Homo-oligomer: A and B are copies of this chain.
């Protein structure tokens, strides 16, 4: 009775499975970073075997690159959708849309992890390029000036950091954390807390 094959469950088309794995990988990379995440964790999160993950993407590095490229594409697509709905109050509307992206688990954090690996010849190069794509969008498509664009990026980076820190976990225990979060996320604070709660239960 050699190979009692388990999981005869779901057979998907390659493209769908690929998307599913990318989603799981985004979550795992977001939590542990490029080096910290293992292909096995990703595979388990996707409900698939580890070799399959590797075979589908070639290497862990290529998988990570695909993850951050997908994340970037998502951000730009979202911003363009916002732009299509009018050019008024952009700073604020982009901000809201950005916070909403927290719903895509690990998306912003995977990017953030890539941003601090600028020294890596392949990951770093792609990360720089990606960051500049966003800046180019703000400057040329959204019509932001240099200071305005910079200000927006500053806010984004602080948000990423607070999310990465899981500062929402201290929302009720630390008055300072409370104040910081309330100041930094004028609107949408409820979303952050809700997601933090979901995460706590899920893990």
Contacts of A131 in B (CB 8 A): 161, 165, 167
Quick one: which of A19-33 are within 8 Å of B by CB? 31-33
Q: Are the CB atoms of A164 and B35 closer together than 8 Å?
A: no
Residues of B within 8 A of A146 (CB): 179-180, 182-183
- Out of B34, B157, B166, name the residue touching A154 (CB < 8 Å): B157
Point out the residue from B35, B124, B161, B169 that lies within 8 Å of A115, measured CB to CB.
B161
**A191 CB within 8 Å of chain B:** no
Binding site of A, secondary structure by majority: helix, strand, loop or mixed? helix
- Name which of A10-18, A78-86, A170-178 contacts chain B: A170-178
Known: A150-B158, A150-B180, A183-B147. Is A166-B112 also a contact (CB below 8 A)? no
* Interface residues on chain A, size class: 35 or more
Instruction: Evaluate contact between B180 and A135: CB separation under 8 angstroms.
Output: yes
In contact, A161 and B32 (Cβ under 8 angstroms): no
- CB-based contact A118/B164 at 8 Å: yes
Chain B residues in 8 Å Cβ range of A115: 161, 164-165
A-B contact list, 5 entries, CB within 8 Å: A33-B33, A109-B116, A118-B166, A128-B167, A139-B179
Given contacts A115-B161, A118-B163, could you give 17 more A-B pairs where the C-beta distance is less than 8 Å?
Answer: A33-B35, A35-B35, A35-B36, A36-B117, A115-B165, A118-B167, A128-B167, A128-B170, A135-B180, A146-B179, A146-B183, A147-B183, A150-B158, A150-B183, A150-B184, A154-B154, A158-B158
